[in-house]
Chains A and B, each alone.
Chain A
């Protein structure tokens, strides 16, 4: 709240977030940023309003579908007067010497607990399973750590939650939302230590025909790139 946020999701991403056309993992990353960033919160509600207008202008096929038989069942249901609290999920991650308050959506996502793996080079990783299209994970870089140079296969989103890190293109602080595409080569390093949430594209998985033979190869590449990334 008090630090300045320098890196935000692109307009296109926020628009897709508002219309609901992103994967679960991507939605979670943007939702967490939006909770931390007043500017993007305002943007999102503007995009929602615009999306609603587009929605109503979208031509409907015809009035052939008649849903009015649903009404009788619906109005028998009780209404809701107040929003029940979502209960308090885990909302902090405890680091060595301090704890970090998580955005609500990440707290919910991590509610079942995190399993941290040491990846070497001072990098720790805890995976979350949020959808089929992305790999989501918390990354903790110890103070003074540095990842090997790597290149992404797909895109990678990183949201800084605590501490900071740098790469060739900038220095990133809490709430910063960094998007990297497949062509970027970079080498993140962190002087003071850094907790992030990251979303990586999964490789294409083919579901039909002979192309399925490519899946093991793609997955192998994906895992190898993760391993390289981790060092």
Chain B
């Protein structure tokens, strides 16, 4: 969550740098300050939802007990509830008793092994177990038909965690190259202007603080900043 927000802020920074480099940096800080606290209550209310897991006999509670404490009693109960259903799914898809029995073994083993990865964000225990069953069934059938094995069920139906990782990675790669680009442009500015940009946009200082740090009058700082932004806009626009 944090990272996404951080990226968004950065992205906002980048976009604004492109669109209107004259935007006051304090406004950016206000924007940042504005977004952060809003996240905290949202998160805690989500956590509050997690705390509400009332029925210790629900599939979800049992699955969490299997995941957190390797609770074999809980697993036994889940096994008794689901094994026949898994078998029935196998029969429906494969019409083969032995394969369907193998599916019970494979799918319930996966439930045991992946239980630590389950949490309520992933939906009900039932739909989680269903998707594991579906995936194992797909892989088994493919193996049985001796089909090419380069793509597995877990590639076709990636868990959400994987997907988010991939997207975040993509985003940060994108931001990375964009920032590197901007850095390259900044290096083309006269040194005095670079120093001002660094104070305001990288060290995140106010105009007043920056003027003090650089030991220049406030008016000089502002005009250098304006010149730097004009030059940057020109550089970004032309490349």
Tell me the A residues contacting B by CB distance below 8 Å: 19-21, 24, 27-28, 31, 35, 41, 45, 48-49, 51-53, 55-56, 58-61, 63, 65, 67-68, 70-71, 73-75, 77-83, 85-86, 101, 104-105, 108-109, 111-112, 129-132
Which of A31, A59, A77, A83 sits near B117, CB closer than 8 Å?
A83
Instruction: Give Cα A71 to B112, complex, Å.
Output: 10
A20 and B137 contacting across the interface, CB-CB below 8 Å: yes
Could you tell me if B116 and A108 are in contact, using CB atoms closer than 8 angstroms? no
**Complex alpha-carbon distance, A31 and B153, angstroms:** 10
Chain B interface residues (CB < 8 Å from chain A)? 67, 70, 72, 75-76, 79-80, 83-85, 87-89, 91-93, 101, 104-105, 108-109, 112-117, 123-124, 126-127, 129-131, 133-135, 137-138, 142, 145, 147-148, 150-151, 153-159, 161-163, 165-166, 170
| Given A79-B116, A83-B117; A104-B166 close (CB under 8 Å) | yes
A35 touches B163 (CB 8 A): yes
| A108, B153: Cα distance in complex, Å | 12
9 contacts between A and B (CB under 8 A): A24-B142, A27-B138, A58-B85, A58-B92, A71-B75, A74-B112, A79-B67, A83-B117, A131-B147
Given known A20-B138, A35-B163, A45-B123, contact A77–B157 (CB-CB < 8 A): no
10 closest cross-chain pairs (CB), A and B: A52-B130, A52-B127, A20-B134, A67-B83, A60-B84, A31-B156, A49-B127, A52-B126, A108-B155, A129-B148
Given A28-B151, A58-B85, residue A49 in contact with residue B142 (CB < 8 A):
no
Majority DSSP secondary structure for residues of B touching A: helix
